[in-house]
Structure 1
Amino acid sequence: MIPVSGYSGAKVAVLGLGRSGLVTARALRAGGAEAVCWDDNPAAREVAEGEGFTCRDLTRGGAFDDIATLIVSPGIPHLYPTINPVVQAALTAGVPVDNDIGLFFRSVATREWDNFEQMPRVVAVTGSNGKSTTVALLHHILCEAGRESQLAGNIGRGVLDIDPPSDGGIVVLELSSYQTELARALTPDVAVFTNLSPDHLDRHAGMGGYFAAKRRLFAEGGPDRAIIGIDEDEGAFLAGQLSEGPSDDRVIRVSATRKLSGPGWQVFAKKGFLSEFRKGRQVAALDLRSIPGLPGTHNHQNACAAYAAARTLGLAPRQIEDSLATYPGLPHRSQLIGETGGVRFVNDSKATNLDSAIKALSAFPKIRWICGGLEKEGGLAALQGQTGTVAKAYVIGREAANFAMQLDVEAEVCTTMEVAVARAVADADPGDTVLLAPAAASFDQYDNFEQRGDAFIAEVRRHLSSENP
């Protein structure tokens, strides 16, 4: 655990007692503060009280009279689409608002670091898509190279739940826009921006607010190295803002769509080959095409970002190449479930927005596409013209018929996962890929995208077991 510093003897309010909230309360207590907790859910309050924490209704008048700061869990909107009443009460009382990410960055470095031969480092990754794969891949590379690495944030453990990093240790964080938008301290040593596409727009009051939340990781923190995906205008703009000139190698530009040139530091993938250029010269080249855990252009972009981060941490190209070959992939992200009769089954339940689904569709040549769910703001117009690899769509979800009508490919309304997998299997020919890439949220039928992916896996395995008794 990372004990929170700076609040010893003070009362700190914690709003939201889910995974990160309870960990935050424990870390505050470990640092000598008194955590005053609140959650609308009585069961969550009961758990906190069982651990000896005081629970106080923070919506009542005078609740913030003795509070030093308010820590808000990331799932709670603090400003848009409407300001949370507890946050509003804190601001009215003049109480600062922060989150566990801010507490982590102000607390992770200790005086003990003065005795280390090599300072620990923090790598933070944000963006719309590919964050989880990028951090998991970097963590895998570091572990394979024998480096101490801990994975935390929006994946794995909560940031305050990890062990204090030891001499030369690396902390790899996945940070969502919900986490970067509110943190009062953001000081990673290496910051990574994967890409940007419309998502969570209601939470950020539009695309500009969404980009601004991501940009804070770089503008507020001033990382030693910034690795920026420049395949979208926002990424190119961000790289330009951070760079002092074309040869400034503190900014590493990354692309999965074109060759990059110039006197700076670039890492790009083209036709399945990753290349690193510095000062106009090629430093290394790797073949990504045969790595089963990284199919498709979007995963090649993730590989470029993880490669660049590993290079900033002192790893050699050959070390990284060897580690990439053993990367197993993440559950629910281009996850190969099995193959029978020449038909592959791939679970990409994490493809909850249109951009991530489009990228998944570009990774395979002939697809039986299982899609549908709770549509996000903006509809499905961006899918038009992006479904050339799709032989047929099999639509799930409570509004499957409406979803299917918006697609520009043959679509069958299946509603349930069981029916969708069965129909896709019946239609599939050798060489086809049955792909779950929903292009929608899961909450109309499932608690989360993981549960939806597990349902797909269960149906696929039932089919595979019947084919191979």
Structure 2
Amino acid sequence: MIPAQGHAGERVAVLGLGRSGLAAARALRAGGAEPLCWDDNPAAREAAEAEGLLCTDLLRGGVLESASALILSPGIPHLYPAPNPVVAAALEAGVPLDNDIGLFFRSLATSDWASHDMPPRVVAVTGSNGKSTTAALIHHILGESGRDSQLAGNIGRGVFDIDPPGDGAVVVLELSSYQTELARALTPDIAVFTNLSPDHLDRHAGRGGYFAAKRRLFAEGAPDRAVIGVDETEGQFLSNQLSEARGDDRVIQVSVTRKLTSAGWHVFVRKGFLTEYRKGRQVGAADLRPVRGLPGAHNHQNACAAWAVARSLGLAPRVIESALHSFPGLPHRSQVVAESGGVTFVNDSKATNVDSAARALAAFPRIRWICGGLEKEGGLDALRGQTGAVVKAYVIGREAAAFAMQLDVEAEICTDMATAVARAAADAAPGDTVLLAPAAASFDQYDNFEQRGADFTAMVRRHL
């Protein structure tokens, strides 16, 4: 555990007692503060009280006013579409808002760091799609190279649950827009922006607000080096804003749509081959086509970003390439769960928006596509023209019929996962991929995308 600094002897309110909130409360207590905790879920309060944490209604008269800060969990809105009632009360009372990420960055460095030959480094990864895979891949490459690395944030452990990093260690964080938009301190050594596509628009009052939340990691975080995906306008703009000149190699541009060879530092993929250019000449390369854990252009973008980070940390190209081949991939993200009779079954339940689904559909040649769920804002129009590899769609979800009507491919309404898997597997021929890439949220039928992916995997195994 890392003790939270800066609040010793103070009361600090903590709203939301999930993984990150509970870890923040423990860290505050370890740092000498008195956390005042609350969660609307009685079970969460009971779990906190079992650890000796004080749970009290933060809206009760005088409680918030006695606190020096309010630490919010990521899912709790503080501005759009409307502030949570506790947040509204804190704003009225002038109580500063923060989250565990801001608290973590203010607490990480201690006096012990003066004895390190090489200070620990923090790599922070954000973006719409590929954050988890990129962060996990960076962590994997570092581990395979013998570097001390810990993975936390929006993946793995809460940031305060990691061990204090030692000499030359690296902390790799995946950060969502919910985390970057509110953190009062953002000071990564290396920051990564994968890409941007419409998501969480109600929470951020539109695409501009969503991008602004991501941009804070760079504009306010001032990393020593920024790795920026430039295949969307927002990434090009961010790269431009961070560069002092055309050859500024503090910014590493990443692309899977075009060759980048101008002045500066670039990592790009063309036809499955990753190439690194610096100051106008090639300095590294790798063939990604046989890398089983990273199929498709979207995963090649993740590989580019991870490569750029690893090179920034001093790793040699041959070391990075070797580590790429041993990366197993992440559950629910282009995860091969079975192969039978020449048919491959792939779980990409994390493809919860249209853009991530389109990327998954571009990764395989002949697809039996299982899709559907709780449709997100903006509809499915952006998928038109992206379904050339789809032989047939098998639609799940409570509104499966309405979802199917928006697709530009043959679609069968299955409603539930068991039916979809059975029908897709029965229709599949050797060379086909049965792909779960829902292009929708899971909450109409499942608690989360992990549960949906686990159901797909279970149904595949039952069928086989």
Name the TM-score, length of structure 2 as normaliser.
0.99
2:355 paired residue number: 355
AA partner of residue 340 (structure 1): S
8 A Cα contact 2:65 2:95, kept in partner: no
User: What CA deviation, in whole Å up to 9, does each residue of 1:94-132 have, x standing for no partner?
Assistant: 110000000110000111000000010000000000000
- 1:252-291 pair list within 5 angstroms: 252-291=252-291
- 1:60-459 pair list within 5 angstroms: 60-459=60-459
User: What CA deviation, in whole Å up to 9, does each residue of 1:54-107 have, x standing for no partner?
Assistant: 122112332222110000000111110011111111111111000000011000
Distance in 2 (alpha carbons) for counterparts of 1:408 and 1:65: 56
AA partner of residue 162 (structure 1): I
Matched, 1:9 2:5: no
Distance in 2 (alpha carbons) for counterparts of 1:102 and 1:34: 18
Distance in 2 (alpha carbons) for counterparts of 1:207 and 1:382: 15
Distance in 2 (alpha carbons) for counterparts of 1:215 and 1:35: 30
8 A Cα contact 2:122 2:170, kept in partner: yes
Offset of residue 53 of structure 1: 1.5
Distance in 2 (alpha carbons) for counterparts of 1:139 and 1:437: 25
Distance in 1 (alpha carbons) for counterparts of 2:106 and 2:266: 31
Distance in 2 (alpha carbons) for counterparts of 1:277 and 1:42: 55
1:42 paired residue number: 42
Distance in 2 (alpha carbons) for counterparts of 1:293 and 1:42: 40
Offset of residue 319 of structure 1: 0.4
User: What CA deviation, in whole Å up to 9, does each residue of 1:138-187 have, x standing for no partner?
Assistant: 11100000000000000000001100000001000000000000000000
Instruction: Name the SS of the counterpart of 1:65 in structure 2.
Output: helix
Deviates more, 1:376-385 or 1:125-134: 376-385
Identity over aligned residues, as a percent?
77
Instruction: Name the SS of the counterpart of 2:65 in structure 1.
Output: coil
Uncovered stretches (5+) of structure 1, i.e. residues with no partner: 465-469
Name the TM-score, length of structure 1 as normaliser.
0.98
1:27 paired residue number: 27
Moved over 6 A (4+): none
Offset of residue 341 of structure 1: 1.0
Instruction: Name the SS of the counterpart of 2:412 in structure 1.
Output: strand
User: What CA deviation, in whole Å up to 9, does each residue of 1:192-234 have, x standing for no partner?
Assistant: 0000000000000000000000000000110000000000000
Offset of residue 354 of structure 1: 0.3
Uncovered stretches (5+) of structure 2, i.e. residues with no partner: none
8 A Cα contact 2:374 2:442, kept in partner: yes
Distance in 2 (alpha carbons) for counterparts of 1:150 and 1:44: 26
AA partner of residue 121 (structure 1): R
Distance in 2 (alpha carbons) for counterparts of 1:207 and 1:74: 19
Instruction: Name the SS of the counterpart of 2:64 in structure 1.
Output: coil
Distance in 2 (alpha carbons) for counterparts of 1:43 and 1:328: 35
AA partner of residue 50 (structure 1): A
Matched, 1:52 2:21: no
Alignment root-mean-square deviation, CA: 0.6
